[in-house]
Structure 1
Amino acid sequence: MQTFSEENYLKAIFHLSGTDKKPVSTNALAEKMKTKASSATDMVKRLSEKNLVEHTPYQGVTLTESGIRSAVQIIRKHRLWEVFLVDKLEFKWDEVHDLAEELEHINSPILAERLDAFLGYPKTDPHGDPIPDKHGNFEEYKMFSLNKLNKAETGIITGVSEHSTAFLKHLEKLGLTLGKNIEIVDILEFDGSIELKIDGTHQTVSREISKHILISK
């Protein structure tokens, strides 16, 4: 059984390692956890002693199979709680991340299974991120960042890669929420800003914002 802090580190390593499971440096891990490199190193040693990570000096940290299973279950609970908070308690999508950070540490597999069933076995959370099933399997979704589309291409907003409150509030203000159909009207050569058509209106988003809006064609 892991502590809350250990679970947070496992989740951070999982996210940083990406789909190719690349090693994560302790400096990158410390930055992600907003702590000192020495603190991250100490935690890596603890996780290694529990056979949850493998650490190769000067190469980085990777999760063991046991570490991956633990991380995925934490992510599963987090995303299920986000769905519950939005769908059942009517929180907005920019209000649920911190609450789910607390709820994800409830150590009750049967609670997670009943929550999943109660919600109707959702496939994605309110931000479009896939929810792994009870076996830890993620359903494959092909999504592209908005800045990868060309003029006149269309798509549906199906996710975001930035979950900060400020970013999500900004998207909501612009009407760029999940499920909206968009069309690329123009891409400004000067700064890469993108003019969109959405719900019959035009919006312009910066290149930086477009990197974090995920689209399905």
Structure 2
Amino acid sequence: MKRQQDHYTRKAKSAGYPARSVFKLEEINDKSRVLRPGNSVLDVGAAPGSWTQYAMKAVGPHGRVVAVDLTRFSLNPAPPNVTIHQGDITDADTRSRLAQTAPYDVVLSDAAPATTGNRTVDTARSAAIVDAVIDLALDLIKPGGKLVVKIFQGGEEKVFLERLKGVSDSARIFKPQASRSESFETFLIAIGVRPDRVRSTRSASTNVR
């Protein structure tokens, strides 16, 4: 376990990434082809920037990456096709800023709460983040877009999986090998997200009233 952790940490440092988490996204992308040249990407919970850097390279010079995190961070050198925002995605001002460069082909989130050691508390906080990310994605993603979001395992991941199946062509749960063996994180991956299905449901609900 420790040996695997050190391997990925050293590998990330050698490749110029600030965190080993980049290899989770790399594996997800290899398996699901989430990122393509020319894509517009929103990276939520982006600090310290490994996913942003990987996405930037994957989409190339004709693509764009917009990153947002509660923590201020930067990339050096600052790439011309990357914009970094500091803010809370549940805040109206932050959402407004992110909407200015919408719609996005891909929404990524490796966001996680500060853990307490109490699994019940930690999974509930993770679920709240996932709920906010999905809501944001359904507002800002292009029809047919892709969503990748981290969640702590505890039962809620199955609820969110069913929710995503209802608004996408396909959805699944995937745990990359680069995740620590003792970690209870996993990822929800939705392909072919259809925001119009949400709007149709909302309209039908309104008409019933």
TM band (smaller chain): under 0.3
Higher strand share: 2
Of the two structures, which has the highest relative contact order with CA contacts closer than 8 Å and spacing of 6 or more?
Answer: 2
**TM-score normalised over the length of structure 2:** 0.25
